[in-house]
Structure 1
Amino acid sequence: MNKKRSAIANCDHRQGANTIDPGILSSLKMRHLSLLVALADHGTTHRAADALNMTQSTASKMLRDIEEVLGATLFERGPRGLVPSPLGDFAIRGARRQLSRLRRFADEFEVLRAGGYGTLTVGAITGAAPDFVAHAVAEIKRKRPQLMVTLHGETSEDILAQLEVGGLDLAVGRFSTERHRDIFDFEPLADEHLAFVVRADHPLADKGITGLDQLDRCAWALQPRSNPTRQVLEAAFDRAGMARPTDTIECSSILLLLNLVQVSDAVALLPKAVVHAPIRAGLLRAIQIRPAVLLTGFGLVTRSKEGLSEAALEFCDILRTRAARYAAPAQDAARDVG
């Protein structure tokens, strides 16, 4: 059997081998990896070829070469174009990871070449960013003024997807799927407390409301269903035997959601770290629902079995120190917002 064709078991098991010769991988170039990603992103050979400035015939031949090297069918043709096979999905994730690492290597190399002091790219969930990660970033910048720091504030699902493919050095968030436990290391940092909030002059602001059942007819400004805060709220309604809200505005932007609450009658459930400043400024009021609503704790997330740069290691130490100090300020904020 041809050495290339025996490299790895095919998706439909037409090849009998189940291992790949590492030497064969030397024939895969960055151009091949870029093609895999382009095919996944664009769905057709024609559009992928255009994105990479090559002919469709060249792209088709490159895909055949890749599949021959790996001994597996990576894409199947479907009614809407190319559909990755299970092994194709795996190969695409690997290609994204390698390309991301190469880009970050090039960026950091350019920073160092220009006389800088390296880069640090961090992802953080919204609830951890305002008074946790921001302080840690400020501290490392005091210690390393020339360090180029980039922050990405998204949901855990989004930032861990970036972390997996090498787009981040580390993340502050929480696992959103069981698969994350296999590919990441997690170190707890702090709990995430939530607050029910309304605009400052909302009719409910001075009603002394303490039960969720008193909000059953309210309009709501909600995050998407995939967001943990939304899931916690819906679970609270379910436990109380109440129908889930139907008069809703769904918004993925925390900033826009805060603005919506300030100009409407909607109630929102948001991280206390996010609403602390607007409450202090008199823009929002907290409704003291009991029992309090709490998300599972967030923590430091890194890729398993992969080393960190000196700057990233120092940032992790700063986060740990910040976590040790975080409990008291969090309790103070909790008292302030109810």
Structure 2
Amino acid sequence: MDAKTDHLVRKLRLRHLELLVALADVSTMRGAAARLHLSQPAISKMLGEVEECFGARLFERGHQGIHANALGHGAIYRARAVLHELARATEDVDAMRGGATAVLRVGAPSVTATVPAAIARLRERLPGTAVHVREGRVQELFQRLLDGELDCVFGAITPQLQSGDLLPRVRPEVVLDDALCVLVAQANSLGARRRLRWAELRGAAWVVPPRETLVRQAFMTAFLNDGVTPPEPVVEAMSSVTVGAVLRLDASLLCAVRREQAVDEIARGGVRQLAVEPVIALPSFGLFTRSERVEQPAVLQAFVQAVREVGGRAARGTQMAPRRARVSPAA
């Protein structure tokens, strides 16, 4: 620990970190005072102490309130992460007192075959592990990862994520290819066909997600690349529960999904995947952790390995055509 960090450790209190986060959230001294149940003079004094500890001005004061400058944003980011880590430490101790040997917090989409399989494999190796899965949009999960609320995030590397400022602040542990898949009920006669072209499926009854999704854009690209106009779906749905139900109840339907959902639906039974050429690639999935120079806990290392093993097996198990076409981010 260098002299400056040693000075911070000796002088800075957790209450100071709470103040940084409060000011970032409410942008007024009065609001921060109300949140921390302190007087405004006490808040002003504490802020002066914080800035003295860092040896720099962190906030700009004005008639419109108080706002962090570039240095302040950096301090706030770290303060928020420290406070979340302390909260997680408390939860870990409580869980271990209840019998768990380790706790892992995973962010993931609501539909994923890889994460449940990796959790099962992890618990085979570390039976006492407690796993908390938080579902949501990938951008929100990444922010929770950076804030210290999650240990890792499994999600698609979307164009929006690539163009934002979140991706450069995390570390990819595992990256898995993804592709557009076509599912049908076991009773559908197309399941007996070895190879199909997208153009041959132009007249089928389709279940697809809404137009703004990457899967729908890939679906449209597949037909356009094969020289035909994309068909209009007879069912448009996002919910995996709805998609799986209608697919099993109506054998005439075809469904376009990403590989993660295809693996999950096939495992549930009653559906199969069609081999359609060419394969349309989708943005890859990845397992991400915070890009920090600290040794990862053993439970996180074991989960990374489990995702790597499960993801490799899933890729080998899905039907892949020899030629691939990639969806551009602008599609």
Are 1:126 and 1:274, in contact at CA under 8 Å, matched by a contact in 2? Answer: no
| Counterpart among 261, 275, 279 of residue 274 in structure 1 | 261
The question of 1:36 aligning with 2:24 is answered: no
- Select 1:300's aligned residue among 278, 281, 287: 287
Report matched runs for 1:168-317 at 5 Å.
Answer: 168-175=150-157, 176-177=161-162, 179=165, 182-195=168-181, 210=198, 221-222=209-210, 229=215, 254=239, 258=243, 270-274=257-261, 291-304=278-291, 305-317=293-305
Shift of 1:174: 4.8
- 1:95 paired residue number: 79
Candidates 105, 111, 124, aligned match of 2:108:
124
Q: Please say if 1:22 is aligned against 2:22.
A: no
1:73 and 2:55 aligned:
no
Q: Secondary structure at the match of 2:198?
A: coil
For the pair 1:56 / 2:40, whether they are aligned, the reply is yes
Q: Give the number of equivalent residue pairs.
A: 305
Question: Which AA in structure 2 matches 1:157?
Answer: Q
CA contact (8 A) 1:198 1:261 kept: no
Matched letter for residue 326 of structure 1: A
Contact in 1 for aligned 2:197/2:277 (Cα 8 Å): no
Aligned-pair Cα RMSD in Å: 4.8
Alpha-carbon offset, residue 56 of structure 1: 3.3
State the partner residue of 2:328. none
- Write out per-residue CA displacement over residues 202-250 of structure 1, whole angstroms, 9 at most, x where no aligned residue: xxxxxx9935xx79xx99853867xx65776798899999999xxxxx9
TM superposition shift of 1:41? 2.3
Partners of 2:271 and 2:24 in 1: CA distance: 44
Deviations 1:133-165 (A, max 9, x none): 101112222333332111122333222222222
Question: Is there any run of 5+ residues in structure 1 with no aligned partner, and where?
Answer: 1-18, 200-207, 245-249, 333-338
CA contact (8 A) 1:108 1:118 kept: yes
Counterpart Cα distance in 1 of 2:176 and 2:117: 14
- CA positional deviation for 1:83: 3.3
The offset of 1:168, in angstroms, is: 1.8
Distance in 2 (CA, whole Å) between partners of 1:197 and 1:20 is 61
Q: Select the structure that is richer in strand.
A: 2
Cα shift readout 1:247-276 (whole Å, capped 9, x = no counterpart): xxx99x7458859999xxxx9964243256
Q: Structure 1 residues 234-243 or 103-112, which shifts more?
A: 234-243
1:188/1:297 contact within 8 Å kept: no
Residue pair 1:174, 1:299 contacting (<8 A) in 2 also: yes
Q: Distance in 1 between matches of 2:224 and 2:21?
A: 41
Using the TM superposition, give the Cα deviation of residue 59 of structure 1 relative to its aligned residue in structure 2, in angstroms: 2.5
Structure 2 distance, partners of 1:159, 1:45, is 30
* SS of residue matched to 2:7: helix
Q: Distance in 2 between matches of 1:318 and 1:297?
A: 18
- Preserved contact between residue 116 and residue 146 of structure 1 (Cα < 8 Å): yes
Given that 1:40 and 1:92 are in contact with CA atoms closer than 8 Å, whether structure 2 keeps it comes out as yes
Q: Which range is displaced more, 34-43 or 286-295? A: 286-295
Give the whole-Å Cα distance in 2 for the aligned partners of 1:183 and 1:155. Answer: 17
| Counterpart contact for 1:162–1:168, Cα < 8 Å | yes
Report the more deviating stretch, 103-112 or 137-146. Answer: 137-146
Q: Conserved in 2, the CA contact under 8 Å of 1:210 and 1:288?
A: no
2:146 pairs, out of 164, 168, 171, with: 164
Change (3 A) 1:286 1:196: same
Paired residue secondary structure (2:67): strand
**Paired residues of 1:189 and 1:300 also in contact (CA < 8 A):** yes
Mapped partners of 1:271, 1:37: distance in 2: 39
Aligned residues with identical type, % of pairs: 26
Structure 2 segments unaligned to the other structure (5+ residues): 186-195, 231-235, 248-253, 321-331
TM-score, scaled to structure 2: 0.68
Could you tell me how far apart the structure 2 residues matched to 1:98 and 1:146 are?
26
Residues in 2 aligned to 1:83 and 1:224: alpha-carbon distance in whole angstroms: 35
Distance in 2, Cα, partners of 1:60 & 1:220: 56
Instruction: Supply the distance in 2 between the matched residues of 1:76 and 1:235 (Cα, whole angstroms).
Output: 52
| 2:309 partner amino acid | T
* Deviation by residue 1:24-43 (Cα, 9 ceiling, x = unmatched): 31322111111222222233
- Alpha-carbon distance change, 65 to 260 in structure 1, aligned in 2, over 3 angstroms: farther
